[in-house]
Structure 1
Amino acid sequence: MLARTDLRGRTPSTAELRAALPRGEVDVDAVLHTVRPIVDAVRERGVEAVLELSEKFDKVRPRSVRVPAEELDRALEHLDPTVRAALEESIARARRVHADQRRRDTVTQVVEGGTVTERWVPVDRVGLYVPGGNAVLASSVVMNVVPAQAAEVSSVVVCSPPQADNGGLPDGTILAACALLGVQEVWAAGGAQAIALLALGGTDTTAVDGEPAELEPVDLITGPGNIYVTAAKRLLRGLVGIDSEAGPTEIAILADETADAVHVAADLISQAEHDVLAASVLVTTSEDLADAVDAAVTEQVAATKHAERVRTALSGKQSGIVLVSSVAEGLRVVNAYAAEHLEIQTADAADVAAGVRNAGAVFVGPWSPVSLGDYCAGSNHVLPTAGCARHSSGLSVQTFLRGIHVVEYTEQALADVAGHVVALAGAEDLPAHGTAVQVRFGSPERSR
């Protein structure tokens, strides 16, 4: 089921490695022509267009986009107690981790009388998108809301697709998670039309209480979604900020002969369960382990609920087994791959993990599976995909903060550096920059 790439005895360049490793192709540009009319429709007709598109794509027309507060309370009241306890634990652990990420303002005295302060200011209003397709991800509510709250964002709206089997409301577990987190504004909208509505805003004249509801636009949109959601983010980037252009989920596992093949197979399958385009890659020094994982995968897939989806993902060109000569070479391979999720299942796993430079999140040892990070590790599961971990981070408190430099100089401090400002302005042929300093002192001589 899993194709093999044998790199033993070779030392490919970084470029050759990137070309040789399993990797899916998601062409966002190919769907822009489909998404652009959706965005234009929302721009022109607002909420009415969103309701029509929900009826077309989600097979249900919500009574209103804004979910009534009592529906959040009702969803929490009817939530399975075991699921509630799990969500509460997930929230508590995520809050513990994200509380430590909050940056503090710093004041630097550059010279006597001259300071630069860096203030960390939260985004005013954010839209948090929670998917509702193959899997309804209540855990994504936690992963998006907790860091926004830790950043002290003052206005948060969660947006999730309406469900035909829930009367046009988002999934009940998603609504209950919002209630647990204290989120009061939830919109029943999904797909590209939801991203457009978050960016553009509108008026919901169908509000169930009889009063039109103003759906204010947001400043930043975060959260994963399908290719149409990603395309809408691309089209609207600039009008709003976005966290990333997320692709299908992926897992890479670096393992040697000490790894348990049953565990490895289960972890590969766990991510393949998400999507037929999901990527599952094993990088190993042991051909015996590769054979054992193949056998375990075949056995476990036959027993898993979404067997056909998993088989398609594991047999796709984005998945496979890569054989390497040593753990050191394997480390080089996974750094070139830059997985969203990277497991290290080797002897001395912590030491090996210390050499990881490129990954969205690293899971160390046999008792730290990706599934733990998806739900209850305390880490965030909204992570960079498609090799973007080489240059980007996962969702965190910093996503919702902006650093603002505040410059304050006295007259003497400015006078002391004025000559340098004038010199650099002249070198760049921007003399008015220099003049803006000189006029404060009445003459060029006074600013020397």
Structure 2
Amino acid sequence: MTYVHTELGTISGVRYPHYEVFKGIPYAKAPIGDLRFKAAQPYHGTLDGFQALEFGPVPIQPPNSLEAFFNVSPQHYKQDEACLTLNVWRPKQTSPNDCLPVVVYFYGGSFVNGHSAQDLYHPHHLVSQEKVIVVTFNYRLGALGFLDWASINDSWDNNLGLSDQICALQWVHQHISDFGGDPQFITAMGQSAGAMSIQALLLHKTAHAMIHRAVLLSGPLQWMSSREGKRKAQEFETLKTQYFPNPPWHQLTSNHILTLMAHQQMKYGKTKGLEFLYAPIQTASFHHTFEHLRLPVLIGQTKSEGDIYIKSERHTLSPQQFQKVLRRQNLDVPPTHQIQTAQQQRDWITKYYFHQPIQRLTQQLAQVTATWTATFAWSRPSHPNYATSYHILDVPFWLGHLDILTAHGLSLTHHEYQLSHQMIHDLCYFAATGTCSWQKTKIYK
């Protein structure tokens, strides 16, 4: 056991040979009852004697096949709306005087899936290798996190998931020094929807001040307009009237909410995760440009982002459905002959969903602040699961979880370990100094 004394009380965690971890610490009041459809409120209760030994419940979400694929072994996670907890990972024997840089990790999952208990997001390899503290946390997802509830009831709020993230950052600023972290060196790091969340916070008129460096992996932000947010909220309300007309909103169970989400998704047809049914809503709380930013940014992408979305010919969308998804997102629509095959669809997603928007984001940020880029290009062509460098495959390397690759039959070589070691070092060097060791861009392969 290990102990940390905070103004909230003494918290106990688990000590391992190379690191220590404190799990399941509440950072916000449970978003239930009167708080169910409202912005997160900081947790101010006592934590004296709190045993931070197990992860808290994960956010309410539908099943996700990728969760098992990016775990070392099959696991079952308890879901609960009272999910707003965080976890602090640090090197062994860290003291409050160490003032280590802090990385706060935002998970991805299309704003519908994800949680901090998943094996992929356990950063013990990272804190065992480098002098850095990592905080992982849960935030609300799906309709509970990103529906425009204010359009349904003017006493409720929108962007609840973003409010959770802001609340977690506030907790880190107030308490991480007790764990040996420096609240003036906070790196927000996220992948996919996590990176999009960070971009939204960087544009938030007040929250951006709590972030000192940003690492944005494979996630150019796609705002939902206020008008679109209201339309989808009205759509959700109509579905409630149809399927659950009698109970008031507060009495709907979590399963009721998931059922309504499933019916709303059915209205749009198959999207392969390319279309966000729920996403950050652009409101007056956000700037429209990054002109106010003066913090270093590292932007990452993978070489073949789209390959995870269309795995084979059996997984292709019909060209007509592919076009519908693009039209709803106001993207250029290619002719059907250019999106017939799995490879055509994969390549189109890589180029137009990721590489081109990431390039535009890089150009926007480079005009106002120091910006670096990195491309993950590692692959193992001989292995069916790792034949190309697809979306999310870089995360096990950034966080040191090569055991996930071996769990799926990959025989690792010295090269993979060295690559992960180098990526972790580069990340932590950036967190500590706000600079990268390369001039503009780097390729990891």
Bin for the TM-score computed over the shorter chain: 0.3 to 0.5
Structure 2 length normalisation: TM-score?
A: 0.33
Name whichever structure is richer in helix by fraction: 1
Structure 1 length normalisation: TM-score?
A: 0.33
Give the structure, 1 or 2, with the largest relative contact order (CA under 8 Å, sep 6 or more): 1
